[in-house]
A and B are shown apart, each in its own frame.
Chain A
Amino acid sequence: MQKKNQRRLGLIAGLALVGVAFGTIPAFADPAAGTYAQLSGTGSDTTQDLVGGLATAVTAIGNYDAVGTETIQTKAGGPSFVRPNGSGNGVKALSASINSTGIKVWNGVDITGQLDFARSSSGPKGSGTDLTYIPFAKDAVTYAVNAGGDFPRDIPVGSSSQDSVSPAPFTLRNIYRCTVTEYSDADFTSVPIRALLPQTGSGTRSFWLSTLGLTEDNVVGCATDIGNTVQEHSGAQVTGIGDIVPFSIAQYLAQGNHNTLPTTVAERRYQVALGSIGGAKPVINNGGVVELNSAFPISRNVYNVVATSRLSGTSAADLLLQATFAGTSSTICSNTALIKQYGFGSAGSLCGNTTTYKSPYTL
């Protein structure tokens, strides 16, 4: 089996090379209409561009963006269903596709077998082993503010032990729990702060809250998603000089590199500027190339989520899934150069790990 795997792997790698060499991969966000890949996945906005880019090298992958047409179809002859937007929804849709009870549906549609993986920018939640989160890259997250304002550009994270300190220190935690509600601009004028959160279900939202040690309950009536209209990694809603929003550094870099990437990456940073955290810069200049600062204090694994059962399966489809995602020699983990180009850091020997991160189904 092992041998077979490797042979298959080699084959896939060969195909991928051909594809890149001839430059024939269409630059669409989703697979071209009417074409279907063997391994379909949806979910996170954070890694949609990276996985889309990897799909140019790993052609078995059919990568569907978080936003786009309202519905998608992922298999020939399969149903159309609502496009899952965000990590949480991607994992839910994957759970519905596995359909372990036979009665799970996604937005009213039976999508059994339509999805093979989910992109997730946050780690597993809850206790269970039904799903395996396979890390494949590292992202770092910081905050973005309107470039035209005087919003401080170096803010510490803060900790719960400072909650009872008065006056409240100027920390990200206190901004998101509204004990800090304004800052002074260059003219010493108070500017009210509007703490923004990406849409519910997004990995960046849950990661950001978790990093600040907050829960959804803590931010009710304080931070806002403006009626769920703040999209991850988009500066569109950062319009005021008091606005602040969490932002993936990798996405920021990828959007900046959009001209040189093998896939279409939408530049939607608008007028945002990234802030430092506790003195650490989000990006560094490495010999003329702007890269993610691998020492940035707020970093996270990004994952592709698969059904645990398929990691020990022996069908051709299961073997392809394993060859693509599982282990440091998987096709995904072999493409470190591409991962860096999209602004992410390498997950090192953790790439392809299938034993550490598990969760139950979430539907």
Chain B
Amino acid sequence: MHLSRRHRAATAPARNGRADRAVIGLRATCFALAVASAGGLLLIDPSALLGAHASTSAIPLTVDWVEDASTAVAFQPPRDSTGVHYSEFDDISVTVSQTTNLSDQALIVDVAGFAGTLEATDSGGMYWSTAQNFVQAMQCWGEDPLAADFAETCQWGGRYAANNGLGDTVYGDVVPRLATADVDPYVGSAIDNPFRTVQGVTVTAKQEFGGVGGKELTYPLLNYFNPSTTNEVQGARINSDGTGSFLFETQSSDQAPQLGCGSEGHARCWLVLVPRGTSYSGPTENGTNTGCSGLIDGKTNEPYVYGRANSIQAGSPVNPQCDYWANRINIPLDFDPTGQTCAVGGSERRTIGSQLMVGAMSSWQSSLCQEQDAAFSFSSNPDALARAQLLQGQADAGFLSWPLSDAEAEYESDKALLAATDFSYAPVAVTAPVIAFAAEFANGRQEELIVSPRLMAKLLTQSYSFAVPSNSSDPDKNFAHLNSVNRSYKYLNQDPEFQRLNPDNWREFTMNPSISLPGPSGADAIKQVWRWILADDEANAWLNGEADEAGMTVNPFYLPAGHPAAQVPVFVTDVADPDQGNYLLDSTGAITMRQVGLTNIAGAGFSLTDAPLQTFMKADESLVPIELTTEKYRFDSLQYAPYAESMLAAARDTFRGDSHSKTVWDATRINAAGELGDWISGGTQIPGKKFMIAVTDSSSSARYGLSNAGLVRANSDEAVLPTNKTMQSALGALSSAESATVRQVDPSLVTTGGYPLTMLTYLAVNLTASDADARDDYAAMIEQVTTAGQIVGTQRGELPLGYAPLSDELVAQSQAAAAAIRAFVNPVVTSPAAVPLPDTVAATTTSIGPAQDEYVAGETAAAAVLPVADTAVTGVDTSALPAAATDRTPELVNAAGVGKTALALSLGLGLSGAVFAPTLLRGRRLLPL
């Protein structure tokens, strides 16, 4: 076991070496481009664009509808060249971004050679936005994709429910597995098209009688999958140029046990794509008119007939009475094994902290427990909370981006505890929060979006009218507190700044976005977003109340209290008042204004520019509807745009187009208080009308196939996408201004080609509170995740998409930290003060209060190293060693650039890791610069 680990460790640096060269190459390219793009031009690294969501190791598979030459050719049904659809589909090819090592994630399906999606109105006057030329997708578990009963193994029909999120996209009877007449139990037809689970349960596709007196129809399929769980895609739209792109959520047996994908002996499942053209494809020879669809032809008032041209694509893709199924494309999906991969009974080591690690830990965990003696659990929580828990010893190890600090300690007792506790910080991951988005409009998906710090500030401060709570009851007063320029932008793409940033495609953003922000709890990653914004002079000035070039200003609720512009009009809110809903006027007839603005705990005004926050706020206190009529109460910003629980949740919500906002009044709904009437959700965004922006992390964004916005570096015109190259490039801006040991990327220092939100995440281990076995396990964990765990790939234990490998320097720092953790000897037995200080150590000690004293430089440091090494190497029981002994040693590694040399030196001298152990323990000492 150790051998294999060492082997991998040895190969890792070579890889990183290549990566480093690549970074240098990239920097050169970027620089050249930067020079070329004189003044005002936006620079996007072209290779970065291509790699925006493509995996380095995931191999895409392309399959042609006819005459396929791919590895999946044997799985394709024969094509009938005389069929009604042949000429529509014979140029179609589809490319799936990844087909192996799959888990619960999203795939990107690219379609080419088709025709643009068409809308239509049926004979009854119902409009359907996705009526012709679209693609359907579903996941199936059957062994043989060409078997006659293969469709029975396909997850389809789960959206046959009241609020299915489809709106008026596809015709209604596309949704079930049978025509409506056969689903309807009152008709009593014998025809069924059941779904079969991998466990062998056959579930009818029909509705059944239930409820009081059999009047409530039940739909048994919903017990297996339903609108909120199914991954079936009813209508993926195609652009007018015949290409289209959509996301498909693969579901392992964890997510969808009825499909069992990835369970033992069942690694392979299928993605089935069914193109729908313009000809009606039902009923088949052995079907009836109403057996495929009951859609009425407006000219004849009779049902459609087979082969009818220019027809709304009615009928289910899996219904054997239609023959859409014959046109399917079968793509094999090979899943990673699911289920228990860690042996039961080993010790469990808990880790907590940064959400940025969710993706990496889910990959590392299973391989960690195979390689190590322990299983490592991880529960993410706000970094600040993780720091507090680490300090209190409630957890031994936590992932953080900033170290524990005196400033954050709330009480004197915490400060004292911090002073008396030793921590070690090992860099484990390079990743970044990202501004991710999903945008799909009439002309298809938009994958490129540039966001500047000031534009982001506008979005985060509810300064556009679409971000302020509003509903259709009043078109003007909803936003009366925004200035007239802000109000004049009905759409985000009317802001000249948006147009300037996105000169080629701003017109395509024809909807306003829903913005999904993680919260309300904080995160270091959120702080990095604010640091990037505040580093930009324009954004800074704008947040302080200055107008931008076009006159747009910040929402007054986000100004410091006491700012002259921090006031909003007051409305008459009393329902009994005849003037309800109008402005409250004073005796002179002027509109009454109310002072608002941000205040701190002490009640004084504070500005967003004072210091970067760790949270996103929803400070706008507007309540709508301003005039209550049928509604009984008003809703606020939080209900209008609720927080996402986590960054991963923000990514998934964005993928599913679900803002969770509740702004539609339902007078018949019983609310939580048991009263009649409640606000309900307007439903998820539907195909062709999707625009959501999320603040998430690059790993979650990659997992759900979201597009990442290119971010403009502070005070520059260069936009940079988050890629491995740009994140590694940004490591050049690692700053030790806040802590010498725990350096962090400073967005204001990131140079050309660097992604400004890049962050280094550390595993912080509380050495004082943990026991020796735990420290051994954490050290082993660090050794594994910083070597084998830095190989980019989709296999378990590798570094998932969205993370850049650590640089050699950082790996060395981690390895040294691991050695230090292993070698740490806890000096605290009962009362450290009671233990006399050994002379050698005492000589270097100038003060008590370990870890808080001034940095001891130069010769003193060198003197300090050896005595400690001696004790450790000679195997003397050092448990009685005072805290000061391990704490006195200086931070060789922490002084930037010195660490690598120091480590090399120590290895060269053949000293044990213990020599450098203490050098890494000094998380919270400020290095005088």
Contact = CB atoms under 8 A, between A and B. Distances in A.
Interface in B212-231: 212-217, 219
Given A128-B217, A164-B443, A355-B181, A221 B478 contact: yes
Contact of A227 (B168, B215, B474): B474
Interface in A158-185: 159-161, 163-166, 178-179, 181
Contact of A129 (B207, B302, B507, B689): B207
Interface in A347-361: 348-350, 353, 355-358, 360-361
Nearest to A216: B682
Contact of B186 (A128, A227, A312, A361): A312
Contacts of A138: 125
A274 B926 CA distance: 76
Contact of A194 (B181, B470, B475): B475
A362 B581 CA distance: 31
- Residue among A227, A312, A349 with the highest chain B CB neighbour number at 10 A: A227
A222 interface: yes
Contacts of B119: 159-160, 213
Given A160-B442, A161-B443, A218-B689, A227 B290 contact: no
A144 interface: no
A160 B217 contact: no
A127 B682 contact: no
A336 interface: no
Interface in A37-73: none
A220 B185 contact: no
Given A228-B630, A361-B162, A350 B123 contact: yes
A213 to B, nearest CB: 6
A357 B665 contact: no
A262 interface: no
Given A100-B215, A128-B217, A220 B470 contact: yes
Given A307-B215, A312-B186, A179 B301 contact: no
B184 A308 contact: yes
B24 interface: no
Interface string A271-306: 000000000000000000000000000111100000
Nearest to B293: A356
Which size bracket describes the interface of A in this complex?
35 or more
B824 interface: no
A300 B124 contact: yes
A102 B465 CA distance: 44
B629 A127 contact: no
Contacts of A200: 472, 630, 664-665
A187 interface: no
B199 interface: no
A108 interface: yes
A200 B180 CA distance: 29
Contacts of B216: 100-101, 130, 361
Nearest to B301: A349
A275 B466 CA distance: 30
Contacts of B159: 127
Contacts of B914: none
A356 B301 CA distance: 11
Nearest to B173: A127
B129 interface: yes
B630 A224 contact: no
A99 B470 contact: no
A362 B473 contact: no
A100 B212 contact: yes
Interface in B282-313: 290, 294-296, 301-302
Contacts, number: 194
Interface string B461-482: 0000110001111110011000
Contacts of A363: 668
Interface residues of B, number: 79
Contacts of A223: 472, 475
A224 B474 contact: yes
A124 B172 contact: yes
Contacts of A181: 490
Contacts of B215: 98-100, 130, 307, 309
B116 to A, nearest CB: 8
Interface string A121-143: 00110111110000100100000
A117 interface: no
Contacts of A219: 472
Contact of A166 (B124, B490, B507): B507
B625 interface: yes
A11 to B, nearest CB: 26
B871 interface: no
Nearest to B207: A129
B186 A311 contact: yes
Chain A, interface SS category:
loop
Interface string B356-371: 0000000000000000
A106 B625 CA distance: 24
A312 B185 CA distance: 11
Contacts of A123: 124-126
A350 B663 CA distance: 37
B223 to A, nearest CB: 16
A213 B217 contact: no
B124 A128 contact: no
Contact of B162 (A220, A356, A360): A360
B442 A163 contact: yes
Interface string A223-241: 1111111000000000000
Given A129-B184, A210-B127, A307-B215, A160 B478 contact: no
A207 interface: yes
B606 interface: no
Contact of B664 (A207, A216, A350): A216
A363 B186 CA distance: 21
Given A350-B301, A357-B124, A163 B441 contact: yes
A229 B685 CA distance: 27
B127 A213 contact: yes
- Residue among A228, A299, A356 with the highest chain B CB neighbour number at 10 A: A356
Nearest to B125: A300
Contacts of A107: 667-668, 676
- Residue among A107, A165, A217 with the highest chain B CB neighbour number at 10 A: A217
Interface string A82-124: 0000000100100010111110001110000000000000011
Contacts of B472: 197, 200, 216, 219-221, 223-225
Contacts of B296: 350, 353, 356
B686 interface: yes
Nearest to A163: B510
A215 interface: yes
Given A228-B629, A298-B125, A161 B240 contact: yes
A282 to B, nearest CB: 15
A221 B629 contact: no
Given A106-B668, A107-B676, A128-B207, A222 B474 contact: no
Contacts of B511: 218
Contact of B473 (A98, A129, A179, A227): A227
A299 B180 CA distance: 24
A194 B474 CA distance: 11
B473 A356 contact: no
A126 B186 contact: no
A257 interface: no
B164 interface: yes
28 contacts: A98-B215, A100-B217, A101-B211, A123-B125, A128-B162, A128-B207, A130-B215, A135-B124, A159-B442, A164-B442, A166-B507, A179-B490, A210-B126, A210-B168, A213-B127, A215-B167, A216-B472, A220-B466, A221-B475, A222-B490, A226-B474, A227-B625, A228-B631, A229-B629, A298-B125, A349-B301, A355-B290, A356-B180
- Nearest 4 pairs of A and B residues by beta carbon: A300-B125, A160-B442, A100-B216, A163-B510
Given A123-B124, A216-B472, A301-B125, 14 more contacts: A92-B668, A100-B213, A102-B211, A102-B212, A123-B125, A130-B216, A164-B441, A211-B121, A211-B127, A218-B689, A220-B472, A298-B125, A350-B124, A361-B162
